[in-house]
Structure 1
Amino acid sequence: MTDQTSRRPSKQRLDIQGLRTIAVGMVIVYHLFPVLLPGGFVGVDVFFVISGFLIVGSLVREAVKTGQIRLLAFYARRIRRLLPAATAVLLTTMAATVVLLPQGRWPSVAKDVMLSALQVQNWNLALGSTSYANATAIVSPVQHYWSLAVEEQFYIVIPLLLMAAAVFAHLFKRGKEMTCLGVLAVITVASFIHSVVFSASNHDIAYFASTTRMWELGLGGVLAILMPKFSLRRTSGVVAGWTGFALVGISAVVYTTTMQFPGSIALVPVAGTMLIIAAGSNSLWVPARYSLTSLLGLSPITYIGDISYSLYLWHWPIIVFYVFRLGHPLRMHDVIVILALSIVLAVLSYKYIEQPLRHGQPIRTPAGRRFNRALVPHRTAYVLGAALLALSCTAALGPWLIVQDKIEQNNRVINAVDYPGALAFDAASPHQVKPGLPVRPDPAVATQDGPMTDKAGCNQYDPATVPDTSCWFGDLSGHSSMVVIGDSHAAQYVDPLVDLVEPLGWKVRAMVRNGCPFSTAPASSGGVALTNCSEQNKASLEKILALHPDMVVISGMTPQAYEAALHWHWQDPRELVSGYEALVKPLIAAHIEVSVILDNPYPVVSVPDCVALNGPVSAKCQTPASTTNDPVDPLRQVGADIPGVRVVNMRHYLCQQNICPAVIGNVMVYRDNHMTNTFAKSLAGPLGAALGL
């Protein structure tokens, strides 16, 4: 999301203001109706080109005219222009989080607010896009700050390089403008090549990385340098404008998030934006009545462009909070409310925050001299920036510390008599549940109550890199051994199994990898086969055969759960069954005892959030058993097909009378689609009996 130019030319390009309206409109429609405009995210690319055209163009003109770039003045203008409105939204978002969201969401939002204030939210999202733990997390109300971070990282680098180019040109008697163009062209080409290559290998990270986006801003700057050297005729301008509009519009309608974006396909909306800007470049003629340039210059359209920065900042947190509290998909009247609230806040932000702090108001000194706040020494802007940054971080720190205190409380050992967990559903001898006790783990920290494999860094097992001496638990000197293998749903059973077998003199090896079922059949996502997991499993099998443990325990998510959580799928359920069996049969042939644990029910809501908002016994937080029964669980079929494989089904400890409660035996059952570690450990006794231990 771009800001408006830090120093407007004497004659403002109204068509560019109108182009901002198109860009922010596409983004908002995409966020509200992703099915209607699946590629509306290209509005951000439009903003990048506009920003490069205006900001880089002004920097080059300054370098050519004066031989230098006043860096302190440039960054001071950026601070005054961007930070006040951005900080106002961050502070409001943090306050709304405390008021509207459960405490369990406070730490993640606090972290995002701080990283957004520090202008590194894009890298936070880039790294998080590959994190399995983030796959089912609530969307951040400030995730849209990633585009601001990309721009600011670009503008930390590019003024320095352009200034160096101007100095070089002066020393070696070269043309300053062409030298700046050459430097900009090198950066643009390098970034574009990187974008194409990286988007093909990992477009989730490439989407947010600043290095894959710099070429879009760079092309805007190249256009600003070259455009004065060419003059479009009136007819050519009309054709260029509407052609550019068609390219941007087609991208917004056709593109989807599964594509290798930005990559080479981002050239289409970028080229379209450049054509639209070029169409309005000729100041010697009046645009044709029905040209795009003329339409974009209409007052209602340009006004939305004026407030587009604030509108971009406000609309997304409003959508996130509204949808979270609504609890169901948006209806038309909800959309109207969201749009109205976004526009009202954008207008107020533009009028009372953006404009006053950007341009300043005339003030009078005691001696009667008038001057503009915007001309106050640049150190004032830097003091303002530091103060706003500190304010955002301080506002985020308070809620984060509150939850950290609850984590410390939750780490205390709980009384198994008062908190029987799964044993409250024991068919033979159900444990009594003492009423009136607080739920453990507390809903505020339940999402962090994961297994020891997460804490020990053993949740990404790779047979090629993890030493054979790593990720062992239990009695490490014991002569009996067990291997637990599968995805993160298999990792849920490491702690209860260790509690169970350590007193018996067993050691347990965790060979678990998030998102990797123990199968040779790769899942696919967006038409791409995820083969790395299946290849690693073949190597893991060789490791297990060499180890020859007393027992191998396998568990994993069902195909339905993978589709719900990660949008991964197998074309044929039998394909996954065959993939499991290809690895299980050699274990049975080697006379290794194999047990498979069927997957736990998949909750239909965020259980910790629901319990925090509605209480532990609310029907809203329950999962109907009818939605969790999976008659084609591939592990169930493996047990039926291969003699000697023990099938363990723990679902009757999680569901009764066709209902799977959110809290059982005073213990929170789920942290997301995984069981809390506290509840999983309460399964140790029943699990041991089912495994024949």
Structure 2
Amino acid sequence: MRRWWHGPGDHHRTPLSSTSRNPGRLSVDVRPGSDPDSVVLPRDRFQTPRRARSVSLGVVHLRGLRNEGAPSGFRPDIEGLRAVAVLLVVVYHARLGPFHGGLVGVDVFLVLSGFLITSLLIRELQTSSRISMIGFWARRAKRLLPASSVTVITTLLVASWMLAPLEFRGLGHDALAAAGFVINIVFMHRGNDYFAADSVGPSPLLHFWSLALEEQFYLVWPLLIALTARARRSLRAIGILIGVVVVLSFGAGVWYTKRSPITAFYVLPTRAWELGVGALLAVAGSQLDRIKHAACVLLGWAGLAGVIVSSLVINDRTPFPGVAALLPVLSTAALIAAGSTSKRFTPTPLLSFAPLQWIGKRSYAIYLWHWPAYVLATARWGTLDNGQAAVTMGVAIAIAAVSYALIENPIRRDPWLAGRPLRPLALGGSLALVAAVLAIVTFNAPIPGGVGTATAPTLTPTVPVAITPTTSDAAPSRPSDPDRDPQPESTTLPPPTTAYPSLDSLVAVGQTNLEASLLTKLLPSNVRPDIRRVKRDRGQVFLDGCVLTFGSTDLGTKSCVYGDPEGGTTVALVGDSHAGHWFSGLNSVATTNGWQLHVLAKMGCPPEDINRFRNANLRPDCLPWRDNVIRRLKALKPDLIIVSHFRYNFRLKTVAQRRGGQWEELLTKYFRELKEISSRVVFLEDVPPPPNLVPSCLLRNRKAVNRCTFSPTESAIPELRESEKRATLAAGITYVPTYNWFCTEQRCAVLVGDLLLYADDNHITNEAARYFAPFLEASLVPLLQRIT
């Protein structure tokens, strides 16, 4: 799964540190037209009398501080570093080049923001002996809110034309959270909600998570700095405070990255250390001027190399942020420190390259506009190739340049807004309010229904017969050698005493239903479940919490026994949410036949020991859960074990691994482990995954729903299916194929009559599971005839 992670820091002109002539003075950009937020490396200790302390509304006073300042220069190295950071994020999102870790541009921005903001606060303490909270927040509002609010408003307006109705309504919720700068919390909860994350595509406002994180930082940080300065009145005390924050936050980040990586990625407590590293540089002040020139040269080039290398070596399989974030964070810190004194032989001349300076000045605007442009273009025209992605990003940069010229820069330099702090607060708040109102209108927008009608599909074979399945429908890939190959037990049983429709006859009727549905062009108005509320169509097993969520491994907290609780036959369903989505059909079969159905399932976790081949950043709790499942199965001793799960092998790194023996070997090993527990084990093949979110596709194509059908060959790698078949044969378990339940030889359907088959792009609906109950019964009942 590709991660859509983004976010820059605050973007301001950054001043050069003070000259070495007077290391006790503070550097401030005093050129005509300079940004009042442009500062500084602050100097040394406060000189505050012990008795001088007072607090008033919105202001923390520290009387008696000297008002020191000196001419300063502009920091072109930091402006260029901003350009590098935003370009890394852009090429990462556009999938251009080898920068698979371009998301580290966000970390670069966080360090720069911590450096800048803390420098501003210390500058204010040293020059006026106080921190004006209202003044600080007003400057942040003037700097961030107008441009971000206009981006949200524009994105909503354009999305009303380019997004499907379900996606557009969902964007309204995101826009409201973005306007309130809490969207990182929303995405943290959504990322930890398996079905919420799976039911929507990437949000055009996903990149606002880092802006929200920084705004939360801005609310807390000046209060901590002011209160520490008021109590101790020294930079040393502030430095100690920041050091404690860095250590605690880094520790929390490492801990949560291992246990709840999505939480670690999005929230301030696990990211504050990155801002804190920049803040420590601000507190270091004149100490940075003491770094020798040779050390600066080494630090500078090592820092730039570290940023670039981290963007190349970090990828979707890297646990992040965690320890891996140290490389881009410390590299950025090294670059800032190196540029504080001499420019000669350092990266500063390279970073001062005119195009980088131009991009750096507009980095905030580029960051705001590039991601909505890419997501909306993809939603409208499909997956973009490299050329289309490059053109899309070029257009986004052009829009950002216009936004910078007409909105961001004029507002930042407007003297009327600078006159009173309430003015920028009122302007920023008003624009954010407009964005919030439009967001509320958006998520209450009506969703159109179907335009036709359809009848419910039926499964009535002409001749009911008894069924006798074989062990597997797969043939060995090479001639069997009894001396080398394990010989599977035969699961062929005598004819059952009760006649059931054969699986072959059901498939034949199902194929007729599929062929008729593939000719349908109109979305039925009576589609089941209601396509506008498909997220609510979950089996009882999910509502009861018996498909464990992220972070949970304990199987003993709930009684997850269904079917006939008093039945004499015990059946265990093992797997992930793809085992769970068959539940309603299996529960019907279990109830009818007097089986106890025990559910042992966990979202996002394969039952096999294949965790190391997946994204190591996602499911650290899978292996403990798997061990608990094996222990439970050994205690339960079920008469039949049913295994089903998502085809996780898609996440293997190379085609060789996908096609090679490692995946097959792991499956075989796990199946044999289960066969030692129960003599009857069934592997229920995963469903063919559609290439798009089916409900959104259908609503976008209400009069041409056939556009949402897909080819069986594009939905899975054939080698994977063959590997699964060979693994079941080698382990001597039963393989139940499902592709011909959904697909003809040419196309796979997403509707059958009035029935919606898919809830998203990989899970079937609860109604579909009920429809397939006869298929499941025909596949499973004969295996238990001897018992029943």
Report the Cα distance in structure 1 between the residues aligned to 2:622 and 2:9, rounded to whole angstroms.
40
Which stretch shows the higher mean deviation, 3-12 or 40-49? 3-12
Residues 428 and 340 of structure 1: CA distance in aligned 2, closer, same or farther (over 3 Å): closer
Q: Secondary structure at the match of 1:691?
A: helix
Aligned letter for 1:348?
V
Give the C-alpha shift of residue 137 in structure 1.
Answer: 4.7
Aligned letter for 1:344?
A
Which structure: greater helix fraction? 1
Question: Does structure 2 conserve the Cα–Cα contact (< 8 Å) formed by 1:199 and 1:207?
Answer: yes
Residues 689 and 266 of structure 1: CA distance in aligned 2, closer, same or farther (over 3 Å): closer
Report the Cα distance in structure 2 between the residues aligned to 1:442 and 1:563, rounded to whole angstroms.
36
Q: Secondary structure at the match of 2:646?
A: coil
Report the Cα distance in structure 1 between the residues aligned to 2:631 and 2:105, rounded to whole angstroms.
50
2:48 is aligned with 1:4: no
Q: Secondary structure at the match of 1:216?
A: helix
Residues 83 and 397 of structure 1: CA distance in aligned 2, closer, same or farther (over 3 Å): same
Aligned letter for 1:584?
K
Report the Cα distance in structure 2 between the residues aligned to 1:202 and 1:428, rounded to whole angstroms.
46
Give the C-alpha shift of residue 294 in structure 1.
Answer: 3.8
2:299 is aligned with 1:212: no
Q: Cα deviation per residue 1:278-313 (whole Å; 9 max; x = unaligned)?
A: 34434xx8x54x753344345543232221111111
Q: 1:398 aligns with which of 396, 419, 441?
A: 441
Residues 622 and 250 of structure 1: CA distance in aligned 2, closer, same or farther (over 3 Å): closer
Question: Does structure 1 conserve the Cα–Cα contact (< 8 Å) formed by 2:85 and 2:106?
Answer: yes
CA RMSD, Structure 1 to Structure 2 (Å) = 3.8
Which stretch shows the higher mean deviation, 316-325 or 248-257? 248-257
Q: 2:397 aligns with which of 343, 347, 362?
A: 343
2:197 is aligned with 1:153: no
Tell me the equivalent position of 1:274. Answer: 333
Equivalent positions of 1:661-680 (< 5 A) are 661-670=749-758, 671-680=760-769
Q: TM-score, normalised by structure 2?
A: 0.74
Aligned letter for 1:109?
L
Tell me the equivalent position of 2:745. Answer: 657
Tell me the equivalent position of 1:314. Answer: 369
Question: Does structure 2 conserve the Cα–Cα contact (< 8 Å) formed by 1:441 and 1:667?
Answer: yes
Question: Does structure 1 conserve the Cα–Cα contact (< 8 Å) formed by 2:150 and 2:431?
Answer: no
Tell me the equivalent position of 2:599. Answer: 510
2:347 is aligned with 1:292: yes
Tell me the equivalent position of 1:364. Answer: none
Give the C-alpha shift of residue 599 in structure 1.
Answer: 2.3
Q: 1:427 aligns with which of 508, 523, 529?
A: 508
Give the C-alpha shift of residue 95 in structure 1.
Answer: 2.6
Aligned letter for 2:174?
D
Give the C-alpha shift of residue 155 in structure 1.
Answer: 2.0
Structure 2 residue ranges without an equivalent (≥5): 1-7, 13-35, 40-70, 462-505, 783-788
Aligned letter for 1:148?
L
Give the C-alpha shift of residue 59 in structure 1.
Answer: 0.5
Which stretch shows the higher mean deviation, 533-542 or 103-112? 533-542
Q: Cα deviation per residue 1:197-237 (whole Å; 9 max; x = unaligned)?
A: 44455555433332232222222222122232442566665
Give the C-alpha shift of residue 660 in structure 1.
Answer: 1.5
Question: Does structure 2 conserve the Cα–Cα contact (< 8 Å) formed by 1:244 and 1:275?
Answer: yes
Question: Does structure 2 conserve the Cα–Cα contact (< 8 Å) formed by 1:21 and 1:304?
Answer: yes
2:179 is aligned with 1:179: no
Report the Cα distance in structure 1 between the residues aligned to 2:676 and 2:421, rounded to whole angstroms.
76
Give the C-alpha shift of residue 509 in structure 1.
Answer: 3.3
Q: Cα deviation per residue 1:223-254 (whole Å; 9 max; x = unaligned)?
A: 12223244256666555443432332232233
Q: 1:376 aligns with which of 397, 400, 420?
A: 420
Q: Secondary structure at the match of 2:689?
A: coil
Q: Secondary structure at the match of 2:666?
A: helix
Report the Cα distance in structure 2 between the residues aligned to 1:688 and 1:27, rounded to whole angstroms.
51
Q: 1:451 aligns with which of 515, 523, 539?
A: 539
Q: Secondary structure at the match of 1:143?
A: coil
Tell me the equivalent position of 1:682. Answer: 771
Residues 107 and 478 of structure 1: CA distance in aligned 2, closer, same or farther (over 3 Å): farther
Tell me the equivalent position of 1:471. Answer: 560
Aligned letter for 1:154?
F
Residues 680 and 187 of structure 1: CA distance in aligned 2, closer, same or farther (over 3 Å): same
Give the C-alpha shift of residue 631 in structure 1.
Answer: 7.2
Report the Cα distance in structure 2 between the residues aligned to 1:119 and 1:667, rounded to whole angstroms.
40
Q: Secondary structure at the match of 1:603?
A: coil
Aligned letter for 1:98?
S
Question: Does structure 2 conserve the Cα–Cα contact (< 8 Å) formed by 1:607 and 1:621?
Answer: no
Q: 2:575 aligns with which of 479, 486, 489?
A: 486
Q: Secondary structure at the match of 1:554?
A: strand
2:644 is aligned with 1:555: yes
Question: Does structure 2 conserve the Cα–Cα contact (< 8 Å) formed by 1:79 and 1:381?
Answer: yes
Aligned letter for 1:455?
L
Q: 1:324 aligns with which of 379, 389, 414?
A: 379
Q: TM-score, normalised by structure 1?
A: 0.83
Report the Cα distance in structure 2 between the residues aligned to 1:594 and 1:4, rounded to whole angstroms.
59
Report the Cα distance in structure 2 between the residues aligned to 1:637 and 1:562, rounded to whole angstroms.
20
Q: Secondary structure at the match of 1:281?
A: coil
Report the Cα distance in structure 2 between the residues aligned to 1:279 and 1:688, rounded to whole angstroms.
70
Equivalent positions of 1:27-106 (< 5 A) are 27-33=89-95, 35-106=97-168
Q: Secondary structure at the match of 1:242?
A: helix
Report the Cα distance in structure 2 between the residues aligned to 1:267 and 1:554, rounded to whole angstroms.
41
Question: Does structure 1 conserve the Cα–Cα contact (< 8 Å) formed by 2:663 and 2:723?
Answer: no
Report the Cα distance in structure 1 between the residues aligned to 2:327 and 2:94, rounded to whole angstroms.
23
Residues 560 and 244 of structure 1: CA distance in aligned 2, closer, same or farther (over 3 Å): closer
Aligned letter for 1:373?
L
Tell me the equivalent position of 2:47. Answer: none
Which stretch shows the higher mean deviation, 512-521 or 652-661? 512-521
Question: Does structure 1 conserve the Cα–Cα contact (< 8 Å) formed by 2:252 and 2:269?
Answer: yes
Give the C-alpha shift of residue 165 in structure 1.
Answer: 1.1
2:686 is aligned with 1:599: yes
Aligned residue-pair number: 658
Q: Secondary structure at the match of 1:150?
A: helix
Q: Secondary structure at the match of 1:119?
A: coil
Tell me the equivalent position of 1:536. Answer: 625
Which stretch shows the higher mean deviation, 86-95 or 524-533? 524-533
Q: 1:22 aligns with which of 84, 106, 112?
A: 84
Q: Secondary structure at the match of 2:643?
A: strand
Q: Cα deviation per residue 1:382-430 (whole Å; 9 max; x = unaligned)?
A: 4444444443333233333346x77xx99xxx99x81217779852585
Aligned letter for 2:662?
Q
Report the Cα distance in structure 2 between the residues aligned to 1:305 and 1:143, rounded to whole angstroms.
22
Tell me the equivalent position of 2:50. Answer: none
Residues 201 and 483 of structure 1: CA distance in aligned 2, closer, same or farther (over 3 Å): closer
Report the Cα distance in structure 2 between the residues aligned to 1:146 and 1:205, rounded to whole angstroms.
12
Give the C-alpha shift of residue 189 in structure 1.
Answer: 2.7
Residues 460 and 165 of structure 1: CA distance in aligned 2, closer, same or farther (over 3 Å): same
